[in-house]
Amino acid sequence: MSTAEVNGQQLYYEDSGGDGPAILLGHGFLMDHEMFAPQVGDLVGEFRVVTWDERGSGQTPATGPFTYWDLADDALDLLDHLGIDQAVLGGMSQGGFIALRAALRSTGRVRGLVLIGTQAGQELAEAVPAYDAMHDDWLANGPANVEDVVAAIILGPGCDPTPWLAKWAAVPREDLTLPYRCLMDRDDITDRLGEITAPAIIFHGAEDAAIPLARARALCDGLRGCRDLVVVPGAGHAANLARPDVVNPALLGFLRTLG
């Protein structure tokens, strides 16, 4: 459990250490580094696993507006801080947005990509009004009125929302806005996917309510190094939490092919 001063920002991270190949895992919106606990246990020993809290999440503060390009720079600077020249970058949802942008920033530093419930594009236009309404309700009343809907979208079936609901209730409601604006105002990088050459594996819940499976297929089609799209049965957006029994064996198999 450590903090790093990188890119003008204090980041909280956890580093398993060791001499194995490094993998840096970035969490989804309203989540934190703990969402990868089911993976860390299976990876540690063979791999050096670093998980981190992105700006405005977990134990990392946000002091002003930011973009996913800023968070990509945070990720790369965190690798510098840890003395890691190359790493596999993994991420769920917005963690995937960050990993893709980090690969565009510095392709040579990315040994591979592990992308879970993510995409290259923007939010579906028809979903924006509902998301804005939930944001406004959260600001006015705290998460209580919308937390069940939010949990269904972000976590989905197979996940226990209880610990996440407790985390959300403990955070000052106004802290939601900066991460939310980053999420909603992000750019579309679909037309740049061909610039990314790193090997990639994509996991997508068969019941993902946040990002349609078609977006995952388009992501795999656009990435030159996409090796597999694993559709995870019985899982929603957070497929790695819902079905580690499906995700972890495929993840380990992919990582071992990278040498």
pLDDT digits (tens, 9 = 90+) for 190-200: 999 999 999 99
The per-residue pLDDT for 1 is 66
The per-residue pLDDT for 62 is 96
* Domains defined for the chain, CATH in brackets: 2-257 (3.40.50.1820)
> Over 80: is that where the pLDDT of 235 sits?
yes
Contacts 24+ apart (CB under 8 A), 77-82: 77/6, 77/7, 78/4, 78/6, 78/11, 78/13, 78/24, 78/50, 78/52, 79/22, 79/24, 79/109, 80/6, 81/4, 81/6, 82/4, 82/15, 82/22, 82/50
The per-residue pLDDT for 107 is 81
Backbone angles phi, psi at 54, to 5 degrees: -75, 165
For residue range 151-194, list pLDDT tens digits in order. 999 999 999 999 999 999 999 999 999 999 999 999 999 999 99
Q: Which helix (H) or strand (E) holds 23?
A: strand 22-26
Question: Would the pTM of this model clear 0.85, i.e. be above it?
Answer: yes
The per-residue pLDDT for 200 is 98
For residue range 5-52, list pLDDT tens digits in order. 998 889 999 999 999 999 999 999 999 999 999 999 999 989 999 999
Going across the sheet that includes 226-232, the strands are 2-6, 9-15, 48-53, 22-26, 87-92, 110-116, 200-205, 226-232
